[in-house]
Chain A
Amino acid sequence: MSTTRRSFLKLVGGASAALATRLDSPPAFAQAGPVKIGVLAAKAGVTAPVGESGLRGTQFAVDRINTAGGIMGRKIELVVEEESNPKDTVERFRKLALQSKVDAVTGVASTGVGLAIGPVAEELKTIWLAWDGTTQKGVEESMPKPKYSFRSVDNEAEAVMASILTARHFKGKIKTVAGINNDYSYGRDNWAAFLAIMKKFGMGVTPVADLWPKLGETNFTSHVAALHQARPDLVFCSFWSGDAPILLKQAHAAGLTRSTKFVMTTAGGVHESLKKDFAPEGMILGYNSMYFEAPGASPLLREFTKWHHAKFKEWPNYESDHAYFTVMAYKAAVEEAGKGAGKWPTSDAVINALAGIEVESLSGRRGYRADHIMECSFFQGISTHKNRHDFVTIDPVEVMSTKQIQKPSGMGLYDWINSWKA
């Protein structure tokens, strides 16, 4: 089921309006009107499932907050705009900040869009909590020491973890590797990180092909033929949206999944599309920051999964967690900054509270470093058909913290990788 913008706003706004002000919420804030949070979410194309997932996580967070009385007595009202190309999305960000006068903006999944939004958030002095899409390349230029922007995890984190698992599971079993990654900074950064880590671990692998389909490509017949020609032992792929199942389907139909190992760093973002019909067992599959069937899942994750499946007839994926976390982090920061002040805190106070904050999210404790970068846990594992679903899941489930797989603040990725004791 998909959430239309209108029904989504009606649901959240209506719920907010319908709920009577609780007796325990401070009346001064309750009368100050709702807190407006802007959301930028993809609604079309192969990235639509990711945007939809983020909206669902946002909805779950806002429902919980509003039911509990809002943030310092003020209910949250969402203003949802579409994430599309960088130029148009920047215009929508401006609209949110200047016209809708939102208190903060969350959202954005695409790296290209994220890099365009960063400088505008600083210019408009509007807090922006990215879900995703702030990969390393270009960040130094477009978001040096950001004040208002709070970045996602450095995107190479999933590539770093997948590379570590590749070394752990496949060392000595592979001689040649090929990459198929989207032709933009995220895809190229992932592939470069993978090759650097293969070298660091002394894997002795030779890259035999690197393919760069554009984001949104839906026909990989020629790419699969090129992979066949290259005859790699392992294919590394950082697809994170609707293109991941298409690639696997076409690769499987061409017999490529029988002879070649696959590493899909982030395909867990569209896990329900990875049907057993074509998604093989034995590939490394990444779910980023939330795995819906994580062993020892918290009560919160269990509640969210139950809610999500009941409402949408689907099992949730990681973008919901990114989105849930950004709303909860904002709430916690406002409450921290406003504690004892007797009034709604200033943006500067909220920003100070956000840097270094830690809250309970769907995947466990998550936070922001002092340099405004997310910290969380990543979930990856080996794909299996042994489950109750018609799609693959992972077993065993490996969990790594960003403290292990994300470069330290102020350090270059490759300097950091080279400093490892492999």
Chain B
Amino acid sequence: MAQSLNIVLGGVFHAAVLFLVAAGLQLVFGVQKILNLACGSFYALGAYFGVSLVSWALGAGLPAPLFVLVLVAAGVLLAVLGPPIERLLRTIYDRDESLQLLLTFALVLMFEDVIRFFWGSAPHQLAGAVYLVYGQLTLGRLTIPVYNLIVIAAGGAIAAGMGWLLIRTRFGRIVRAAAENRRMAEALGVDMGWVYSRVFTLGVALGTVGGALVIPATAAVNEMGIDLIVEAFAVVVIGGLGSMRGAFAGALVVGILRAVAIATYPEVEMLAIYVIVIGVLILRPAGLFARAAT
């Protein structure tokens, strides 16, 4: 029982990070109708910047337990990239999807070089002690790093916060209106440029915070964004394009399924995920929760 819980928790930890990236992908698609491959790059940038900012802060005397706040701050600060990139993407909002994919993939390649320029090619990591600053939870033979639970909780909190933002706030209503019918929203006086800029910035922040939060448990490597974006697309297909609830459910399915496959039959780690993807595409082509930006 405890071992099963451990495996599920491993999957949920992965799902929490995956959800953040997929949520950014969903949000931007839901409103701007752009499949933004670069959301994987934001995840990688968040990881690298998180390492740099936390290392600097700890060096400057920050008490170690506060490092997680610095990580979140690193992610949020990087959201400053949102508005200029969104301005660039405006040139292709009404163009063919293949062009959108090409441009956002070009951004992925450019960000790889940006990362190389600022951080070099070697992996970057935080000192191991930082990962364990909150200690470990022991359940019989099991030891679970408390930080993993914090990331899971953060993922859940952000999911709840996104739900609240989109359903309960004026901004959320505007976003949903823009996603449902852009022309009608514009006719009613909604400034679409303003909406797009903020939605995209929020999408960037989700990715960068995800990358920053995962970094104590792992290391920042240049390709980490590309690896995750492939899984994020599986999440999106399972959950339904543009659906925030779909991103949440899809991330849990992918994360837990991957963990169970690794523990039972590791050879089918990726196959298991794509069997579900194919199943969803056949039985519910629009995904489990296909409704725009809700």
B122 and A252 within 8 A (CB) = no
* Further 6 A-B residue pairs, CB within 8 A, beyond A44-B116, A255-B136: A210-B266, A225-B259, A242-B123, A245-B125, A245-B219, A275-B128
B143 and A229 within 8 A (CB) = no
B262 and A211 within 8 A (CB) = yes
Closest 7 pairs between A and B when the two form their complex, measured CB to CB: A255-B143, A277-B128, A2-B120, A278-B128, A242-B123, A48-B121, A225-B10
A218 within 8 Å of B (CB atoms): yes
Please, what's the 1-or-0 string for B1-26, where 1 marks a CB less than 8 Å from any CB in chain A? 00100110111011001000000000
A52 and B143 within 8 A (CB) = no
Q: Give me 15 A-to-B residue pairs in the complex whose CB atoms sit less than 8 angstroms apart, sorted by A's number.
A: A43-B121, A44-B116, A210-B266, A211-B266, A218-B218, A219-B214, A221-B10, A221-B259, A222-B10, A226-B262, A231-B141, A245-B219, A250-B217, A275-B127, A275-B128
B7 and A229 within 8 A (CB) = yes
**Distance, CA A224 to CA B14, complexed state (A):** 13
Closest to A253 in B: B145
**Distance, CA A278 to CA B7, complexed state (A):** 21
**Distance, CA A18 to CA B203, complexed state (A):** 52
Interface residues of chain A: helix, strand, loop or mixed (majority): helix
**Distance, CA A273 to CA B219, complexed state (A):** 10
A273 and B125 within 8 A (CB) = yes
B132 within 8 Å of A (CB atoms): yes
| Chain A residues whose C-beta falls within 8 Å of the C-beta of B223 in the assembled complex | 44-45, 216
**Distance, CA A253 to CA B219, complexed state (A):** 14
| A interface, size bucket | 35 or more
| Chain A residues whose C-beta falls within 8 Å of the C-beta of B263 in the assembled complex | 222, 225-226, 229
**Distance, CA A273 to CA B128, complexed state (A):** 10
A223 within 8 Å of B (CB atoms): yes
A196 within 8 Å of B (CB atoms): no
B131 and A253 within 8 A (CB) = yes
A46 within 8 Å of B (CB atoms): yes
| Chain B residues whose C-beta falls within 8 Å of the C-beta of A278 in the assembled complex | 128, 131-132
Please, what's the 1-or-0 string for A210-249, where 1 marks a CB less than 8 Å from any CB in chain B? 1110001111011111101101000000000010011001
B125 and A254 within 8 A (CB) = no
Closest to B11 in A: A222
| Chain B residues whose C-beta falls within 8 Å of the C-beta of A219 in the assembled complex | 14, 17, 214, 217-218
| Chain B residues whose C-beta falls within 8 Å of the C-beta of A254 in the assembled complex | 6, 136, 142-145
Q: How far apart are B65's CB and chain A's nearest CB, in angstroms?
A: 16
A49 within 8 Å of B (CB atoms): yes
Residues on A close to B: CB < 8 A?
1-2, 42-46, 48-49, 51-52, 210-212, 216-219, 221-226, 228-229, 231, 242, 245-246, 249-250, 252-256, 258, 273, 275, 277-278
B262 and A218 within 8 A (CB) = no
B32 within 8 Å of A (CB atoms): no
B201 within 8 Å of A (CB atoms): no
Contact of A48 among B145, B222, B267 (CB under 8 A): B222
| Chain B residues whose C-beta falls within 8 Å of the C-beta of A46 in the assembled complex | 123, 219, 221
B266 and A45 within 8 A (CB) = no
Given contacts A218-B218, A221-B10, contact A277 B266 (CB under 8 A): no
**Distance, CA A377 to CA B287, complexed state (A):** 57
| Chain A residues whose C-beta falls within 8 Å of the C-beta of B122 in the assembled complex | 2, 48-49, 52, 242
B148 within 8 Å of A (CB atoms): yes
B218 and A253 within 8 A (CB) = no
| Chain A residues whose C-beta falls within 8 Å of the C-beta of B53 in the assembled complex | none
| Chain B residues whose C-beta falls within 8 Å of the C-beta of A273 in the assembled complex | 123, 125, 219
Contact of A252 among B127, B128, B142 (CB under 8 A): B128
| Chain B residues whose C-beta falls within 8 Å of the C-beta of A255 in the assembled complex | 136, 138, 142-143
**Distance, CA A254 to CA B3, complexed state (A):** 12
Closest to A278 in B: B128
* Cβ < 8 Å to A, chain B residues 201-230: 214, 217-219, 221-224, 227
Contact of B6 among A211, A212, A229, A258 (CB under 8 A): A229
B217 and A253 within 8 A (CB) = yes
| Chain B residues whose C-beta falls within 8 Å of the C-beta of A211 in the assembled complex | 262, 266
| Chain A residues whose C-beta falls within 8 Å of the C-beta of B219 in the assembled complex | 46, 218, 242, 245-246, 273
| Chain B residues whose C-beta falls within 8 Å of the C-beta of A228 in the assembled complex | 3, 6, 141-142
**Distance, CA A211 to CA B7, complexed state (A):** 14
| Chain B residues whose C-beta falls within 8 Å of the C-beta of A246 in the assembled complex | 125, 218-219
* Cβ < 8 Å to A, chain B residues 112-132: 112, 116, 120-123, 125, 127-129, 131-132
**Distance, CA A123 to CA B222, complexed state (A):** 33
| Chain B residues whose C-beta falls within 8 Å of the C-beta of A250 in the assembled complex | 217-218
Contact of B148 among A48, A52, A221, A242 (CB under 8 A): A221
Closest to A276 in B: B128
Given contacts A226-B266, A229-B6, A242-B221, contact A44 B112 (CB under 8 A): yes
Contact of A222 among B14, B132, B267 (CB under 8 A): B14
B131 and A216 within 8 A (CB) = no
Closest to A42 in B: B121
| Chain A residues whose C-beta falls within 8 Å of the C-beta of B145 in the assembled complex | 253-254
**Distance, CA A258 to CA B136, complexed state (A):** 13
* Cβ < 8 Å to A, chain B residues 60-94: none
| Chain A residues whose C-beta falls within 8 Å of the C-beta of B138 in the assembled complex | 255
B176 within 8 Å of A (CB atoms): no
**Distance, CA A253 to CA B224, complexed state (A):** 21
Given contacts A44-B121, A52-B122, A277-B127, contact A222 B221 (CB under 8 A): no
Q: How far apart are B272's CB and chain A's nearest CB, in angstroms?
A: 12
**Distance, CA A244 to CA B288, complexed state (A):** 38
